[in-house]
Amino acid sequence: AKARHFKWEVKYMYGAPDCLENVVMGINDQFPGPTIKARAGDTVVVHLTNKLHTEGVVIHWHGIRQLGTPWADGTASISQCAINPEETFVYRFKVDKAGTYFYHGHYGMQRSAGLYGLLIVDVEEGKKEPFQYDGEFNLLLSDWWHKGVHEQELDLSVKPMRWIGEPQSLLINGRGQYNCTLASAHNSNGSGLPGCKFRGTERCAPNILHVMPNKTYRLRVASTTALASLNLAIGNHKMLMVEADGNYLEPFWVNDFDIYSGETYSVLIRTDQNPTDNYWISVGVRGRQPATPQALAILHYQSTTASKLPTLAPPVTPRWNDYNHSKSFSNQIRALAGSPTPPVINHRRIFLLNTQNRIDGYTKWAINNVSLSLPPTPYLGAIKHGLRNAFDQKSPPDTFEKTYDITRPPSNPNSTYGNGVYMLKFNSYIDVILQNANALNANVSEIHPWHLHGHDFWVLGYGEGMFSTKDEGMFNLKNPPLRNTAVVFPYGWTALRFVADNPGVWAFHCHIEPHLHMGMGVVFAEGVHLVGNIPNEALSCGLTGKMLMNKTYH
Ligand code: C2O
Ligand code: CU
């Protein structure tokens, strides 16, 4: 095992993610940020300097559990203070498990500004994956708005709220095409856009995956979208699902698959199609009425020229509201035989009802009628040092009124702000039942991909309507997949189980950036007395900042 050192500077820069010039948040003048490659067991050390001039920054290592280093989780107000302009914070953490991960900003809506990149962890030297391949490619999926992120934040926070709308573009590895279409030869796409003309050197030129015929390739796909749920398909090529969120799957074949924000997958493809042709990789929107064209990349067989556009039209994304398609995919996901299985009991079951609400006329999301508003002092330092004034000492509720009608807009839409913590008994088995409901408008219930920091959880099952205890009978305790992100479908529920065995304070939230910004999250804490020394740089704000000053001067 090695230590891998990186020196990064976060800066605003001009970019052209979808060919239109825009301000993006970059790392070392790159957008998306550099891909980190490491091996399981390595220590990653990132010296992160904030060059943003007027705002703080943090970076979260999505999917990395931060065993023993909860202060390196990179969540403002939870694990650390935001890094001030011109200051440097050192993230040092172990990547203990091979898999496909990514990183992103976790302060305000900086992820939407383009602060993200991939983190690929290979198996230890001399070890093998449970599948074989000849080469690999990474596809980092995101969505893009032309409106700047500060304006988006303001839109969501004013009264009445101004919804930011659907993204202008979908990006693959930070590239999309806004005012032209690559697939102009296939009038079936009906976009009415002119054909794109590329020399291939443009910053927004499409990705081309160069493959040899009759080989097996691994595609690592990660979604860091702010809003969009996506579906990916490749013309004429089936895909074998083998990994999700850094955990192996019982392999299964698909023609296309859904990927929600916060999820990663590895798929294997066999390049056994006509080698004198090229093929589209297409990514389209699911779960919301799409107003964004598909993103396209090209699978290029090296026996032909890369500039030859595919003869087949790009695969059509399944209808946006074909939820049965999404559910049947989610229900097919199983852990590879031999993976850790969940405890058969739970010590505590927390029901989390997500609702859209109003507070003084502001539009918010709430969990059990509490809309999360993060405190100025990060929880980790506050709990460790017993600073009881740092946040609400009262725990948020473990459940909600069972008479709540999830099929209708809330009869009383008023909610309240809160920043209390679910204190979990160390090493206990926790069940979370995510319960979806109707939003403020009639006949609207949205998809929410929930992401847990610091742990993987088992996804025990999905169901329709209101969860009831008899639904336990259909939990999969035999081979449920381990994940760090799981979706809750409209008007449905999702059951998760995890072991609270990682000392620290951990966010659990909807990975849709505007939803989190509007309060859709909760905070879990466990075993904080077991946490080692938190670096001072993580504590230098709020009440922990005052505490440090008193220590220095008295
Ligand atoms: Cu990738 Cu708290 O999120
Ligand atoms: Cu959400």
> Residue 205 gets which letter from DSSP?
P
Say how far apart CA 373 and CA 419 lie, in whole Å.
Answer: 6
Of the candidates 398, 232, 405, the residue with the CA atom closest to the CA atom of residue 316: 232
Phi and psi, residue 304, nearest 5°: -125, 180
Instruction: Quote the pLDDT of residue 179.
Output: 86
Q: At residue 8, what is the residue type?
A: W
Instruction: Quote the pLDDT of residue 536.
Output: 96
Under 8 Å CB-to-CB from 150, ≥6 apart: which residues? none
Q: Is 353:367 a contact under the CB 8 Å cutoff?
A: yes
Under 8 Å CB-to-CB from 461, ≥6 apart: which residues? 471, 474, 475, 476, 480, 494, 495
Instruction: Quote the pLDDT of residue 199.
Output: 83
Helical H runs in 423-465? none
What's the mean pLDDT in 455-472?
A: 98
| Ligand showing the shortest atom-to-Cα distance for residue 116 | 1
The CATH code of domain 348-545 reads: 2.60.40.420
Q: 222 CA to middle of ligand 1, Å?
A: 13
**pLDDT tens across 103-122, in order?**
999 999 999 999 999 999 99
Q: Is 541:377 a contact under the CB 8 Å cutoff?
A: yes
Q: Give Cα 487 to chain centroid, integer Å.
A: 11
Is the CB–ligand 1 distance for residue 364 below 6 Å? no
pLDDT above 70: residue 190: no
Can you tell me which atom of ligand 1 is nearest the CA of 75?
Answer: 2
Instruction: Quote the pLDDT of residue 534.
Output: 97
Phi-psi region of 443 (alpha: psi -120 to 50; beta: other; left: phi over 0): left
Q: How many CB atoms lie within 10 A of CB 180?
A: 15
Helical H runs in 392-537? 513-517
Helical H runs in 345-442? 379-384
Instruction: Quote the pLDDT of residue 306.
Output: 78
Is the CB–ligand 1 distance for residue 262 below 6 Å? yes
pLDDT above 60: residue 37: yes
Q: 424 CA to middle of ligand 1, Å?
A: 20
Tokens found for residue 340: 């850790």
pLDDT above 90: residue 248: yes
Q: Is 306:298 a contact under the CB 8 Å cutoff?
A: yes
> Residue 543 gets which letter from DSSP?
H
Instruction: Quote the pLDDT of residue 472.
Output: 96
Is the CB–ligand 1 distance for residue 515 below 6 Å? no
| Ligand showing the shortest atom-to-Cα distance for residue 512 | 2
- Residue for token digits 């050390």? 45
pLDDT above 70: residue 189: no
pLDDT above 90: residue 136: yes
Interface predicted TM-score (ipTM) = 0.98
The CATH code of domain 135-332 reads: 2.60.40.420
Instruction: Quote the pLDDT of residue 537.
Output: 96
- Confidence category of residue 186, pLDDT binned at 50, 70, 90: confident
Under 8 Å CB-to-CB from 201, ≥6 apart: which residues? none
- Pairing between β-strand 135-144 and β-strand 169-172 as defined by DSSP bridges: antiparallel
What's the mean pLDDT in 480-497?
A: 98
Is the CB–ligand 1 distance for residue 517 below 6 Å? no
**pLDDT tens across 362-376, in order?**
999 999 999 999 999
What's the mean pLDDT in 528-539?
A: 97
User: SS3 of 297, please?
Assistant: strand
| Ligand showing the shortest atom-to-Cα distance for residue 73 | 1
User: SS3 of 137, please?
Assistant: strand
Instruction: Quote the pLDDT of residue 194.
Output: 87
**pLDDT tens across 154-165, in order?**
999 999 999 999
- Confidence category of residue 540, pLDDT binned at 50, 70, 90: very high
Average per-residue pLDDT in the chain?
A: 96
Is the CB–ligand 1 distance for residue 111 below 6 Å? no
Closest CA to ligand 1's atom 1: 62
Multiple choice CATH, 3-122, 3.30.2130.30, 3.30.565.10, 2.60.40.420, 3.40.190.10: 2.60.40.420
Is the CB–ligand 1 distance for residue 70 below 6 Å? no
Q: Are 135-332 and 348-545 in the same CATH fold?
A: yes
pLDDT above 90: residue 338: yes
Q: 253 CA to middle of ligand 1, Å?
A: 28
> Residue 114 gets which letter from DSSP?
T
Say how far apart CA 305 and CA 19 lie, in whole Å.
Answer: 24
Is the CB–ligand 1 distance for residue 509 below 6 Å? yes
Q: Where are the domains of the chain?
A: 3-122, 135-332, 348-545
